[in-house]
Structures are given as C-alpha cells and as structure tokens.
Amino acid sequence: MFVKILRPGKMIFQVKNFVKAELGAKFIESPPFDLEGCLADSSNVTPIIFVLSPGADPIAYLNALAVKRGMGDKLHAISLGQGQGSKAEKLIAEAQATGAWVCLQNCHLSASWMPELEKIQEVQDANLIHNDYRLWLTSMPSNAFPVPVLQGGLKLTNEPPKGLKANMTRSLNDIGEERYEGCTKPREYKKLVFALAYFHAAILERRKYGAIGWNIAYEWMNSDFNTSELNLRMYLDEQPEVPYIALNYLIARVNYGGRVTDDKDIRTISAMLKNLYRSEIMQDGYKLSKLDTYYAPPEGTLTEALNYVASLPLDEDPEVFGLHTNANIAFELKTVGYFIDTVLTMQPRATGGKVLKTPEEIVTDAAIDFGKQLPPNMNLEKAHESTFALTDLGVEQSLGIFVRQEIIRFNKLLSVIRSSLVDLVKAIQGTISMSMDLEKMFQKFLDGRVPDNWMYVGYPCLKPLASWYKDMLKRIEFISSWLYEGVPDSYWIAAFFFPQGFITATM
C-alpha cells in the first residue's frame, strides 16, 4: 500500500515479493504445461477441453504425448467448421469402437453443431466404449459451447508465459535434449537456436508496450518457433556454411513476417533478427542486447542452457527489446490498474455489524449528494453579447463557435448524469428495475470510480469519482461564466473537452 501511494507503477514488484515471502517462489512463476497429469485424471467418457488463448497452441504437445503413449497413429484430429459435423460424428463412433483418440479443434467455430456434441456425450456408456478412447476438444471462450460438456469435462488452458525468462524456458524445453544434441553442426545449432528462442520471446514481450512495441499486436505462436527451428536444422544439416542471409529472410519475413501487415513492423522484426543471426553470434559472450546480462551462452548441454536462462532476472528491462527504459511506465501503470480492478471484483460487498452502512445506503447517499450539487443545463439563449459576437463580415467569431460546441457537450454530460442519478436511486429503492448499466454504475460508486455511462459522454480523465465530480463542477462553472459573463481575460485550457479546437480557434 505504501509503494502504491509513492510509485503506483512499482506496486506489482512489491506484490510479487509479498507473495514470494508468504507462499513461496513457485506462486510467481509460470508452471509447466502438464498434459500427462490431465490424461491420467481422464476417462473414456470424460472429454478433455483446451480453453485456447491467443499465442498458445496445445496441438504440438498433444501430438508429442500421443507418440509417447504409442497412440501416434491413433490420434485423429479434425478442425470444426462448416460441414465438418458429420465427419466428426463418424470419427467419434469409430474411435469409441477401436480405442483411438479424437481431437476436435476450434469448437467455437461450429456453434450450430454443438448441440449434437452435447447429445453424443449424454448417451455415452463407459461399458460400451473402448477404455483407451479419449476425446480432446479445443475452443476459445464461447457462449455456444454446451454447458453439460463443459461441466463434465476436464478443463485446462495453456496461456503464453509472461516474461522473457518464462518464454525462453518453454521454447527450449519444447525442443528437448534429443533434438538439441542431434544436429550435424552442434555449435552453430546451439548458438542459433538459443538466439531464436530469445528472438521469439522478445517479439512476444514487446506486445505488452502497446503501440510502442508493435503498431499491431500480432498473435505469434509456438508453432512459428517450431517451424523456424525445423528450417534452421535443415539448412545447417544440408549447407556447408551457415546461410545467415537466407535464415534472416525465411524467419523474419516468411515464418514470423507472414503474420505482420505493417511495413514499419516488418522493418523492426527484420532488424531484431539481423542483430542475432550474424557471424558474430558464434563468439562466446556475444551480447544479444545492450545489457550485459543477456548473451549467447557457451556451447553445452540443454540443461546448462536452461540453467543460464534460470539465472536471468524475472522482470526484464525494456532495453532488452531495444526500447527506452521509460517504455515501462505506461505498461506498469496499466498492469497495476488491471490488478487493482481484478482485486476489487473479488472484494466481498456485504458488511457486518449494525453501525456500518450497507452498500445500498452508501450509493444512495452519494447519488443524492451528487444530485444536489449538479447545476442546471446551460442556456444558450441567455448568453452575454460578447460570447457569440459577430465579425465585421457578419459571421460568428471562431471562439464563439468553439465555446458553443463545448456547451453542447457539457449539457449532454449534465443530462446523462442527472437522469442516471435519479434512475439509480429509484432502482435501489425498487421502484424501477435494476438494469445492467445501473448495476455497473452501482458497482463503480462502491469502488469510487467514474461510471462508464458518464465516461462515454465525458472527457478523458484519470481521477477517481469524488475528485472527478468536483473537477467537473469547476469546469462547468468556468464555461458558464464565459457563456453568461462574456469572453474571459484568461482561459483554463484543461477544462475543455477539445483543447486542440481552442488552439485552432485562437489562431
């Protein structure tokens, strides 16, 4: 709480330290994706449901597990969509008889067939189905997904790891010891595959900085990394020398660049890889970024490479991605805001004891108090003669046009606030129904934040509710004095909805 007051952006670091001290380090690091444990908990009538998230593709893990369990030839995958429902039904019927695995991908794209899936699951009899049969389902969060199937299945998700360290650890683990040691040019392969893991993690992590990182947040996946790793191995096995130019083009422009639509982003991703895929990378200690911490480790085992990654800091500096340190400020504030919002949604609303007010009483009192302070809408017909004065040519002065537009906007805001406050009090009293918008407004009042329906017609502002309301009243007071008392001697530029319009009008 103390750090939140002094440096809001740094609060998350303190939260991590607190959780680490109270519960242990494993609660602040991403756990490995345990598909085997999930398989052990399942049965022939229990579907295993992957809840998909952008940047994570579990199919590679499923293929690897099938091969490990001797089911490589018995795993049948089909991507659902238009006209695929009948094929899926036939596949399930055959697999239940022979003991195969069926993977139905992208269930959210086949909403019309989901009721059929529900019927198939409802009439199943474990005694009539082969013990080895398993049904794997992948879907984005969707309202069309049948609830009984969801409730009866095992749910798991594989969110992309957060942070450079976690991303690199997953990428290297996915390669495995056997592939890591299996190239004909071991030194070149180990150096370049480590640089590839670093590159993959860096471009993913740049997304958290918004438009500073990438103009568009592209959804690169581990399949892009796996394809690039296969290309790298093929070129090293087949070419006498390392073809840096070909690898740069293939990985940056084709494999990853295939998702990139902005020309400036193409330049950025090409420049990032060119810094890694060059002859100097073969030198021990070659720095991957401006910081001394990140370098390509000496040739060794996969365990040694993973141990080096484990020694990297948990929270990386923006310099790692070629960005200025200040890039962290906006990201940290956004993260803290999201964290606090999440904590507030989990906050219990009921109060104990007889002395304290109930949430309904708190909101009602605040709404009535706000309503009493609210001034009436501004009347353009009672304007001072200088406010909308005409020029020599008989047209209204530019500042007059500007303030008229501001008054219209403020009047709209006042009307929305006035009507919503009245409706909120009535809804709490039970004289009208509590709509979704009023319920959200009620919640925002409890949290001390500006309601969404006010912000929608209001101006950009980061103040909490009480400060925002006082500030809004002062803004209206200033605009009202301009309207009723004439053009002021000085202007409060921050009071306007559209300050740029004021600058243009003044010029």
Give per-residue pLDDT as tens, 320-366: 888 888 888 888 888 898 898 888 778 776 555 555 778 888 899 99
**Of 116, 140, 157, which one is at a domain's C-terminal end?**
157
Residue 221: Cβ within 10 Å count: 18
> pLDDT tens, 276-323?
898 888 888 888 888 888 888 888 888 888 898 888 887 788 888 888
Torsion sign (Cα): 290, 294, 298, 299:
negative
pLDDT of residue 256: 92
Together in a domain, 315 and 261:
yes
Is 172 a domain residue?
yes
Q: Could you tell me which of 31, 34, 24, 22 has the C-alpha nearest to residue 62?
A: 34
299 assigned to some structural domain: yes
Domain finish residue from 135, 157, 179: 157
Q: Mean pLDDT, to the nearest integer, of 422-445?
A: 90
Q: Considering the chain, what percentage of its residues have pLDDT values greater than 90?
A: 32
Residue pLDDT, tens place only, 110-164: 888 888 888 888 888 878 888 888 888 988 888 888 888 888 888 888 776 778 8
Model-level pTM?
0.61
Instruction: Extract the tokens encoding 101.
Output: 């695995």
Query: Does residue 83 lie in a domain region?
Result: yes
* 265 and 196 in a common domain: yes
Domain co-membership, 172 together with 111: no
| Domain membership flag for residue 369 | yes
Question: At a CB cut-off of 8 Å and minimum separation 6, what does 236 contact?
Answer: 183, 184, 185, 188, 189, 192, 242
Which of 88-97, 169-178, 344-353, 453-462 is predicted with the least confidence, judged by mean pLDDT?
A: 344-353
Task: Pick the last residue of a domain from 307, 327, 347.
Answer: 327
pLDDT in tens, 182-213: 888 888 899 999 999 999 999 988 888 888 88
Please indicate, yes or no, whether residues 293 and 440 belong to a single structural domain of this protein. no
- Structural domain including 459 reads 359-506
Bridge-based pairing of strands 101-105 and 134-139 is parallel
Report the distance separating Cα 346 and Cα 102, nearest Å: 38
Q: Flag whether 432 is in a domain.
A: yes
Residues 148 and 168 reside in one and the same domain: no
**458 in the same domain as 436:** yes
Percent of all residues in the chain with a pLDDT value above 70, rounded to a whole number: 96
Same-domain check for residues 191 and 306 = yes
Q: Is residue 320 located within the same domain as residue 174?
A: yes
Q: How many domains does the chain have?
A: 3
Sheet of 134-139: strand order equals 75-79, 101-105, 134-139, 48-51, 154-157
Per-residue confidence (pLDDT) for residue 184, from 0 to 100? 86
pLDDT in tens, 462-495: 888 999 999 999 999 999 999 999 999 999 999 9
Average pLDDT over the chain reads: 87
Whether 323 and 420 share a structural domain: no
Question: Is the domain of 117 the same as that of 227?
Answer: no
